[in-house]
Homo-oligomer: A and B are copies of this chain.
Amino acid sequence: MPPRSKIPRPTVKRLSLYLRELESHIERDQQTISSKQLGTALGLTDAQVRKDLAYFGQFGHPGIGYRVQELTNKLRHILGTDHRWNAAVVGAGNIGRAVMPYARFARKGFDIVAIFDDNPSVIGTEIAGHKVRPMRDLPKLVRERDIKIGIVAVPASFAQQVTDELIRAGVLGILNFAPVRLDVHDAVSVASVDFSLSLEQLAFQISLGMTGPLEELSP
C-alpha cells in the first residue's frame, strides 16, 4: 500500500462514471471488464481508466481485466457510498419538490429524511411522505436524524444564509442547486448543480457549431 500521491480532480469525477458503468455490467452478469471496454463506453482512453484506478491500488488482473463485482465494491468504498448517508432538503419550491422523490438518490445510498421551508403556506404540508418543517427545527432534526448532507434548493438570495444554518447545525456537505458560489470553511464540502450554467454552455457550443469554429466573436 503506497502512500499514494494526490488524486487529480478530474479523476474523482470519473470515478462516479466508472461506478455507474460497472453497475450496468453487473446487471448483465458480466464477470470481468477491461480498461478498454470501460473507456470506450465512457468516451475515454484505456490508459486514462487504468491510471485513474491505479491511484487507489492495484485492482486489475493482467491478461483478464477488472472483476466487475470486486471493482464495484472498491469504488463504492473509495467514494464513501458503501454505507448510507442521511440528507435534508431546504426549500420546498420546484427543485426541492423534484428532488424529494428522486429514487436514484436512495439507490445510490442517500436517504432524504427531512425537508424544511419557512413559507407558512407550505409548512406542515406533505411532500413525498415528509412533513415540511420550519427552519427553526433544523438543528434538532440534524442531530436526531444524523443528517450529514444539506441540499440547498432555495433562491440564490437565501442560499448563503441557509448554508450557514445547515453548517451550524452540523452537516458535513452541501449539495447546492442555487446559482451562486457558496462560501464555507474548509471542513465542509460543497458540490453545485446549476441548470442555467449548463444551458449556457450548450448555447455556446451551438453558436460555435453554427458560425464555424470561432468567427467574429471579437469586434
Q: How far is the CA of A114 from the CA of B174 in the complex (A)?
A: 33
A60 in the interface, Cβ–Cβ < 8 Å?
no
Q: Mark A191-219, 1 if CB is under 8 A from B, else 0.
A: 11101111111111111011001100111
What residue of chain B has the Cβ atom nearest to residue A151's Cβ? Answer: B199
Verify if A26 is at the interface (C-beta below 8 Å from B): no
Which chain B residue lies CB-closest to A58?
B218
A28 to B108, CA, bound (A): 42
Tell me the complex Cα distance, A7–B213, Å: 10
In Å, the complex CA distance between A200 and B79 comes to 6
Copies of this polypeptide in the complex: 2
In the bound complex, CA of A80 to CA of B204 (Å): 5
- Stretch in A92-100, A118-126, A130-138, A162-170 with 4+ CB within 8 Å of B: A92-100
- Return chain B residues, CB-CB under 8 Å to A174: 202
Give, as a whole number of angstroms, the nearest-CB distance from A56 to chain B. Answer: 5
Nearest-neighbour CB distance to chain B for A69, whole angstroms, equals 15
Task: Pick from B77, B94, B102, B198: contact of A217, CB below 8 A.
Answer: B77
When the two chains form their complex, are residues B85 and A94 in contact, meaning their CB atoms are under 8 A apart? no
Pick the contact of A193: B87, B198, B213 (CB < 8 A): B198
A85 nearest in chain B by CB position? B203
9 more CB-based (< 8 A) A-B contacts, given A15-B200, A193-B193: A4-B214, A4-B217, A15-B204, A57-B219, A58-B218, A78-B204, A97-B98, A98-B98, A108-B200
Question: Can you report 20 A-B residue pairs in the complex whose CB atoms are below 8 A from each other?
Answer: A1-B219, A4-B217, A16-B197, A16-B200, A17-B181, A20-B197, A41-B181, A43-B181, A56-B218, A78-B204, A78-B217, A94-B97, A95-B102, A99-B195, A108-B199, A149-B203, A172-B209, A175-B195, A175-B198, A193-B195
Taking Cβ atoms with an 8 Å cutoff, the residues of A that contact B are 1, 4, 6-7, 12-13, 15-17, 19-20, 41-43, 56-58, 77-81, 85, 87, 94-95, 97-99, 101-102, 104-105, 108-110, 148-149, 172-175, 179, 181, 187, 189-193, 195-207, 209-210, 213-214, 217-219
